[in-house]
Structure 1
């Protein structure tokens, strides 16, 4: 039995760890195929993966793959595991697009490699393989990570090591799941990028801002500027006009801004609101800088790099 450390190492390498480094083995070489455990089975023996993180299968992508399979056949076997309680039935672990395209190409048989895998391993491999191929949209990727966290107790640090990406990448994607459903749909449809979406996280007006971004075809930088502009709009209270525009900042405020900016290494703005208090705004350019700000606020430290 493979211990946990060995399993994590194998899974972290993706499909190549399951069928060998040269995934695109010559399936016409029967001896090589048999040595790698590859066999051919009727296409109707295969079942979709209930743990499949990919929810969007674009017709144009499947059409291209279908044409390729008609011309060249399947170049890489589909990874499957035996379906519980069914004879001559296999659940797809990696390769559902190939299976769908093979059906469209009217193939009767497909090459598979059968592995005994737990639900845990099946979900891990499905996510890793799609992430490595950049096949998932940001919402699908985030939902996959959330499922690993919910079902198997993965921390963000463990997820980052598993998929070979930074912890901030994982954290930033998971934040997207907090966006309104309509905004998440725009991301899934490819109308909003993850960069656009990050600028909308935590905004009460996220849906309206998202619509403006899509309608105007704004870049990520333009979307960030739009959200900052929206935040800066004065708010009325109790039917009274908002506070008058402040004039030039006094020397003490400017000195305070400089001291904080020097300590963090980032642009800082201090806004006094009289007796009601005020705000300290820190501008960051990357989500890594945001994570570092949070870490330094919790533990102390030098400038953010």
Structure 2
């Protein structure tokens, strides 16, 4: 594996590449393993595979075979578990092959999880939600905090937090993201809505009217700033316009925390309000603040 490919990863991951490297070490052999004996990696974050690209790979395998061996580990039950190379396994089956060249390595559960995530994160066609699922998998299965995932992946903490936050989207909106109908930027902007009941209708409006991220941001700001229905029994105080520098600070906070952040100012005093959508979202924000429950 080239140094360029490693450069995107943080500390703690380089040691895994001796297990992930698909070139056999001096003491290893490449052997043909029956495809029927190979089970998929249960920690595979990729949910969708481009059928056209798989067919192209299958056609290539029919003509020239598989050049790069897949990585397996011996199953504790029967056969083998796939560590890396699912596209090659799928395409080989499509090509009518019965076996595939493989390297069998002695790997534990943690290595299996991390390598599955690494292999996929190194690919550019992973969807935003699949990337979010990959980070969530590391956190849940390896008991890592967002800060630790960020360190291992060579990413900033807000970067990881913003992806994890996508998992709180309604399923219908998640499908729009997975189908590439909504971009990462549009999905993040939708999460800034205060009234979550408006989220799905607004997502549909984005598709119907082909709204850009900037247009969507302006629309969300308008919805969030709308006053509730007037109450004739109570006179509402006039809304004081916020200074531009406070609005700018709020925007920076929203970008950092990946959620709505509002500054309420009264004279020289005030308070900061940071919204969270669930218990896990609260933990994500506390993690950014270096606060442990």
TM-score, length-scaled by structure 1: 0.71
Q: 2 CA distance for matches of 1:118 and 1:197?
A: 36
- How many residues are treated as equivalent by the alignment? 250
The two structures, once aligned, show a CA RMSD in angstroms of 3.3
Question: Which residue in the other structure is 2:223 paired with?
Answer: 230
- Change over 3 Å in CA distance of 1:97–1:84 after alignment to 2: same
Query: What are the within-5 Å matches in structure 2 for residues 62-101 of structure 1?
Result: 62-86=54-78, 89-101=79-91
SS of match in other structure, 2:200: helix
Q: 2 CA distance for matches of 1:239 and 1:144?
A: 51
Question: Which residue in the other structure is 1:50 paired with?
Answer: 42
- Change over 3 Å in CA distance of 1:147–1:237 after alignment to 2: farther
1:155 maps onto 2:172 in alignment: no
How far 1:245 moved relative to its partner? 7.9
Consecutive unaligned residues in structure 2, runs of 5 or more? 1-10, 263-271, 273-285, 287-293
State the Cα deviation string for residues 134-171 of structure 1 (Å, max 9, x = none).
Answer: 34212122122222212221011211122222222111
Q: 1 CA distance for matches of 2:150 and 2:123?
A: 16
Q: 2 CA distance for matches of 1:94 and 1:104?
A: 18
Query: What are the within-5 Å matches in structure 2 for residues 68-147 of structure 1?
Result: 68-86=60-78, 89-147=79-137
State the Cα deviation string for residues 44-97 of structure 1 (Å, max 9, x = none).
Answer: 2211111111111232232232223233322321111111121xx111111111
CA contact (8 A) 1:69 1:105 kept: yes
TM-score, length-scaled by structure 2: 0.73
Report the structure number with the largest CA radius of gyration.
Answer: 1
Query: What are the within-5 Å matches in structure 2 for residues 18-57 of structure 1?
Result: 18=19, 20=21, 23=22, 36-57=28-49
CA contact (8 A) 2:162 2:188 kept: yes
Consecutive unaligned residues in structure 1, runs of 5 or more? 1-5, 26-31, 262-267, 270-279, 299-305
Q: 2 CA distance for matches of 1:100 and 1:216?
A: 38
- Change over 3 Å in CA distance of 1:75–1:286 after alignment to 2: farther
* Equivalent in 131, 149, 161 of residue 171 of structure 1: 161
Instruction: Considering Cα pairs closer than 8 Å and 6+ residues apart, tell me whether 1 or 2 has the greater RCO.
Output: 2
